[in-house]
């Protein structure tokens, strides 16, 4: 399908669809690990790449290809490579574009497993990473070395919703010959399109908003055909590919992504405004609030503030941790779990869960205080979410 003249809502429903001989309306799920050839000559032509077509599901699968085409259309990317999880998308990206001796400059506000990947795995292969402030563009410039090959960030960050200026950081990357990769998990292409702002690579954990109902794991790497060639090469050889079943779930997830992102965002804004009015809330972090330090940048770069809200319970309520745990333990509707991007609202205490393994000093430097709570706002009525939190805040 030519995707040029359609709006995102339309692309999300139609892009990438290929029908089989049966003319099915809903996308088919091809549960097959290999594909049959008409004769030996065709098999040979497929294997040496003379003839396009499917060979084996570690290389390609028609359901996975439909998902890749649809997400590529939404991000405005030439090519998308689907992966088994968000983490394998990041692994495929770094294995594709880096080699021993390269240097990475990364935001210090990254998903925990991403930090572990850079510090404990990629480092073993001779790639060093320097962490800098997500919000200070001059710090990215100052961290550049002659061998810097990749800049890596996610925006908004987790859990404090810091906003990195993608266009400004892309300029710094370009000037020093490095690539910029943006983990676009929190915004999805519905709210933010990093490639249009100058990024070279977009990463997704499809597990979150793209599925939208907390069912399956998946990920994606997107960029130019040339840049995706070694990323796909890694995947085809090493094998953390997306399954056909998961691709089918994500195809259906993309169809409602615009509606869900709008609803998550409206609920999150309603909850953030209400939290700002609560006497026992010391501080609210939400890019859609005028009180957010990068509100103007967020409103330029993203369509809405997104679905993630963080807040600090006032310390007059005893120790920060006690006060935060009291709020969490008085909820009945909200799910105490670290997942996000689900229809069901989730609540977490970052200091004792997602950020528990880092030192108290590093946690303080990252702004993750003991009183901090993160909410991934779902699709329930916002008044019910507010009432659920009000009990513990009293």
Ligand X SMILES: *Cc1c(COP(=O)(O)O)cnc(C)c1O
Binding status of residue 164 toward ligand X by CB under 6 A:
no
162 interacts with ligand X by CB under 6 A:
no
Q: Which residues inside 132-161 make contact with ligand X, applying CB under 6 A?
A: 154, 158
287 binds ligand X (CB under 6 A): no
Q: Which stretch binds ligand X (CB under 6 A): 35-43, 187-195, 201-209, 348-356?
A: 201-209
Q: CB under 6 A: which stretch of 47-55, 63-71, 108-116, 304-312 binds ligand X?
A: 108-116
Which member of 16, 62, 86, 350 binds ligand X (CB under 6 A)? 86
The DSSP result for 64-101, as a single string, is HHHHHHHHHHHHT-SEEEEESSHHHHHHHHHHHH--TT
Q: Which of 11, 66, 82, 87 binds ligand X (CB under 6 A)?
A: 87
What residues contact residue 361 under an 8 Å CB cut-off, 6+ apart?
none
- The count of residues interacting with ligand X (CB under 6 A) is 15
Binding to ligand X by residue 85, rule CB under 6 A?
Answer: yes
Contact 372, 348 (CB under 8 A): no
Nearest approach, Cβ of 332 to ligand X (angstroms)?
Answer: 26
Residues 320-349 that bind ligand X (CB under 6 A): none
For the chain, helix, strand, coil in percent to 5 are: 40, 15, 40
Q: Whole-number minimum distance, CB 300 to ligand X, in Å?
A: 21
Q: How far apart are CA 241 and CA 68, in angstroms?
A: 12
What does the CA dihedral 317, 323, 329, 332 come to, rounded to 10 degrees?
Answer: 60
- Least distance from ligand X to the Cβ atom of residue 339, Å: 8
Specify the pairing of strand 201-205 against strand 219-223. antiparallel
- Secondary structure class of 349 (helix, strand, coil): coil
Backbone angles phi, psi at 17, to 5 degrees: -65, 125
With contacts defined by CB under 6 A, name the span among 56-64, 110-118, 120-128, 289-297 that binds ligand X: 110-118
| List of residues 6+ apart from 245 with CB closer than 8 A | 29, 31, 216
Binding site for ligand X (CB under 6 A): 85-87, 111, 113-114, 154, 158, 183, 185, 205, 207-208, 217, 219
């Amino acid at each position: 399908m030519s995707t040029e003249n359609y709006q995102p809502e339309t692309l999300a429903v139609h892009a990438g669809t290929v029908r089989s001989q049966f003319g099915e309306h809903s996308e088919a799920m091809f549960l097959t690990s290999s594909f049959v050839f008409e004769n030996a000559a065709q098999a040979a032509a497929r294997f040496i790449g003379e003839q396009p077509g499917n060979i084996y599901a570690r290389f390609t699968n028609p359901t996975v290809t439909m998902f890749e085409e649809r997400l590529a259309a939404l991000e405005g990317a030439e090519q998308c490579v689907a992966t088994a999880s968000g983490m394998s998308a990041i692994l495929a990206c770094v294995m594709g574009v880096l080699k021993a001796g390269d240097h990475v400059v990364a935001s210090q506000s990254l998903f925990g497993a991403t930090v572990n990947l850079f510090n404990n795995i990629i480092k073993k292969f001779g790639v060093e990473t320097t962490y800098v402030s997500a919000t200070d563009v001059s710090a990215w410039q100052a961290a550049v070395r002659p061998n810097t090959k990749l800049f890596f960030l996610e925006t908004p960050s987790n859990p404090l919703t810091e906003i990195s200026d993608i266009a400004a950081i892309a300029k710094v990357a370009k000037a020093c010959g490095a690539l910029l990769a943006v983990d676009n998990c929190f915004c999805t292409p519905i709210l933010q399109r990093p490639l249009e702002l100058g990024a070279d690579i977009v990463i997704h954990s499809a597990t979150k908003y793209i599925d939208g109902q907390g069912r399956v794991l998946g990920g994606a790497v997107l960029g130019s055909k040339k840049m995706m060639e070694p990323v796909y090469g890694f995947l085809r050889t090493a094998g953390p590919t997306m399954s056909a079943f998961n691709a089918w779930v994500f195809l259906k997830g993309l169809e409602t992504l615009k509606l869900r992102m709008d609803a998550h965002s409206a609920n999150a804004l309603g909850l953030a405004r209400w939290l700002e009015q609560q006497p026992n809330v010391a501080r609210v972090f939400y890019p859609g609030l005028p009180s957010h330090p990068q509100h103007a940048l967020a409103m330029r770069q993203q369509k809405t503030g997104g679905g993630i809200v963080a807040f600090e319970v006032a310390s007059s309520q005893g120790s920060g941790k006690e006060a935060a745990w009291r709020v969490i333990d008085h909820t009945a509707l909200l799910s105490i779990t670290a997942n996000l991007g689900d229809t069901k609202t989730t609540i977490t205490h970052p200091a004792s869960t997602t950020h528990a393994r880092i030192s108290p000093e590093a946690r303080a430097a990252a702004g993750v205080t003991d009183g901090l709570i993160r909410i991934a706002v779902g699709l329930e009525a916002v008044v019910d979410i507010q009432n659920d939190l009000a009990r513990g805040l009293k």
